Structures are given as C-alpha cells and as structure tokens.
Amino acid sequence: MIPASEAFEKIEHEYEQHPEGWRLYIGLDSGRQATVYAFHGDCAWTIKYPKFGMNGLAGKVKVEEDELIREIAEDPMSFGLRIITRHVFEMLMQQGREKVTKQVKPVSAKEVGKGAEDSNNRGFMSGPFTHAQSPIAPISASQRDLEQKLKESLKHLTDGMYV
C-alpha cells in the first residue's frame, strides 16, 4: 500500500504512456468511504480515503475476471484528454457524445500541449468522461482483498484522531 498522492502520480505516468482504455469510478463505497477505482488493461488501482481527513491509501491489483475486463475495455466512453476540432464538437452537440467518442481517441497531456501549439491543429480539449450509473464496488476477488486491507490500514492510521 502507498499514499494516495503517490498512486495518483503513478496513474498519471501510466496514462501518459498509454492514454487509451482508462475507466475511472469515483464515489462513496457501502461503508461511506470515498473511493476511487482506476481500471486500465487487466489492472485496477483502488484508492480509499478515511471518513474524516484527506490522507488516503492506495494499492494496485490484477483483475482476474476476463469478462468484466473485456466489458470495461470495449466501452467507448473511456476517461481521457481529447483534442476535438470545431467540426467534431458540432457533431458531438448534434449526434450525442457516445457516437463521437468512438472517433475521438484519448491522448496524453503532452499531445494536448503539442496540438495547442500547432496552429493547424486548433481545437477543444475534453475529458474526462464519467460513468455516473456505475456502482462503486470492487469487481474481482483481488480488489475485495485489497479493499479490506486498505480499510483496516486507514482505520489503524486514524484511530483516535477524529472524534
């Protein structure tokens, strides 16, 4: 387990290397603890915060359930920065987000900066797309084990700190 801030740095680095196919789920778990799940490929980061305070803990596990990984990977509504031209933006407004998202791939922050500098490639930047309908819950046994360890460690770290 590592501090949440360190996990976000690692996630940012991984995103810069491979920006496509990320899924983020953010919300309160069944115990009312703020939780972030970041899925990419067959791995998942779980970042959990105590009920009070801002110092969260995180861990990364391999997700075992192939069907769920495939479902997440094939969903066109992935997290990411995108460079969107005015024409594509107009299409987005007319046709709906899902159709256009298939055409506009996620890019790294470096590519966004390069696109902004290029006078021939002006456009809009958009992201992230979120999944409001998704429940905040682990999807594999490895995540459930990690989540339990995170909860226990957070409880130990915050015992007696908040009344």
Residue 163 above 50 pLDDT? Answer: no
Of 25, 46, 22, the C-alpha closest to 154 is: 46
Does residue 64 carry a pLDDT above 80?
Answer: no
Domain boundaries, the chain: 1-76+131-163, 81-127
Q: Per-residue pLDDT averaged across 119-133, rounded? A: 50
| pLDDT value for 96 | 62
For residue 78, which of 27, 120, 131 has the smallest C-alpha distance?
131
Question: What confidence tens digit (pLDDT) does each residue in 10-62 have?
Answer: 999 999 999 888 888 888 877 778 888 888 888 889 999 987 777 899 999 88
pLDDT at residue number 52: 76
Alpha helices by DSSP H, listed for the chain, are 4-17, 66-74, 86-95, 97-101, 109-117, 141-158
In whole numbers, what is the pLDDT of the chain averaged over residues? 75
pLDDT digits (tens, 9 = 90+) for 138-151: 677 778 888 888 88
Name the percent of the chain lying above pLDDT 90.
15
